C-alpha cells in the first residue's frame, strides 16, 4: 500500500466528511482534516480561512464549493501536492468560507415602467444559487492590525466567486439579504479557479 493510500485511510478514520457541489451533480464520500491556527489574531483569517489536508486522489479542484460535515460552505482556493518518494502523498489546501449566497444577474436590455413610463435596466438570471465570499479588500497591505481591517473597503468590496459561474463586468450580484452590487472589474489571475470581482453599489 502506498503512502497516499495510508494517509487516505487515516483521513477516513480521523477526518470529517465533505460534500462537493457541482452543476453536474454533487460528490460525497471524501474526508478532510481541518487545521485551524489558534494563534491567529486577524479577524478575517480567524473567521474565514481554513487549511486542510485532502487525499492524494481527491476530486477537489480550485473553485469548488463544498460543505463540511460540521456545517458551512467553503470555496477551494488552491491545492498543493506533498511529494513523498516521488509520488503525491496528499494535498494541502486552503478553504475560504462563503458568507453570502444569492443570484448573479446580467443586463438584458431596457424595459419601460408601466407606472412612470421611464426606461429601466432589465436583468436576466445567470445563476440563482450562487455562493461566494463578499468582503473588504484583503490584499491592499492594510491587514496589519484589527483596527485597520475595520477602516478599509468603505467604498468598495471584493467578491470571491468560482470562475465556473462566468461572471462578467457590469453583472449584478444580489445576496439573499437584498442588496445590489455591480461588478466594476475582475481580477482573474489572483487564484486559479476563482474570480475576484471589485464591487460597487448598483443603483441601476
Q: What CATH number is associated with residue 37?
A: 2.40.10
* pLDDT tens digits for range 22-63: 988 999 999 999 987 665 666 667 778 899 999 999 999 999
Q: How many domains does the chain have?
A: 2
Indicate whether 90 and 51 sit together in one domain: yes
Residues 145, 84 within the same domain:
no
Residue 154 pLDDT > 60, yes or no? no
Q: Are 76 and 154 within one domain? A: no
* Parent domain of 74: 3-97
**107 and 120, same domain (yes or no):** yes
pTM of the full structure: 0.84
Phi then psi for residue 155, to 5 deg, are -95, -30
Amino acid at each position: 500500500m502506498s503512502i497516499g493510500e495510508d494517509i487516505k485511510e487515516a483521513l477516513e478514520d480521523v477526518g470529517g466528511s465533505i460534500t462537493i457541489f457541482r452543476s453536474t451533480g454533487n460528490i460525497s464520500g471524501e474526508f478532510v482534516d481541518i487545521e485551524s491556527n489558534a494563534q491567529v489574531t486577524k479577524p478575517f483569517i480567524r473567521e474565514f480561512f481554513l487549511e486542510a489536508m485532502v487525499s492524494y486522489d481527491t476530486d477537489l479542484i480550485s473553485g469548488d464549493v463544498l460543505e463540511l460535515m460540521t456545517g458551512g460552505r467553503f470555496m477551494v482556493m488552491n491545492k498543493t501536492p506533498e511529494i513523498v518518494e516521488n509520488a503525491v502523498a496528499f494535498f494541502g489546501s486552503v478553504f475560504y468560507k462563503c458568507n453570502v449566497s444569492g443570484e448573479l444577474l446580467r443586463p438584458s436590455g431596457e424595459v419601460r415602467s408601466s407606472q412612470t413610463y421611464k426606461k429601466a435596466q432589465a436583468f436576466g438570471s445567470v445563476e440563482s444559487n450562487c455562493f461566494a465570499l463578499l468582503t473588504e479588500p484583503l490584499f491592499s497591505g492594510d491587514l496589519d492590525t484589527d483596527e485597520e481591517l475595520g477602516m478599509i473597503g468603505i467604498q468598495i468590496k471584493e467578491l470571491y466567486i468560482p470562475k465556473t459561474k462566468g461572471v462578467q463586468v457590469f453583472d449584478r450580484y444580489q445576496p439573499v439579504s437584498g442588496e445590489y452590487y455591480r461588478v466594476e472589474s475582475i481580477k482573474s489571475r489572483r487564484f486559479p479557479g476563482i474570480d475576484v470581482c471589485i464591487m460597487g453599489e448598483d443603483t441601476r
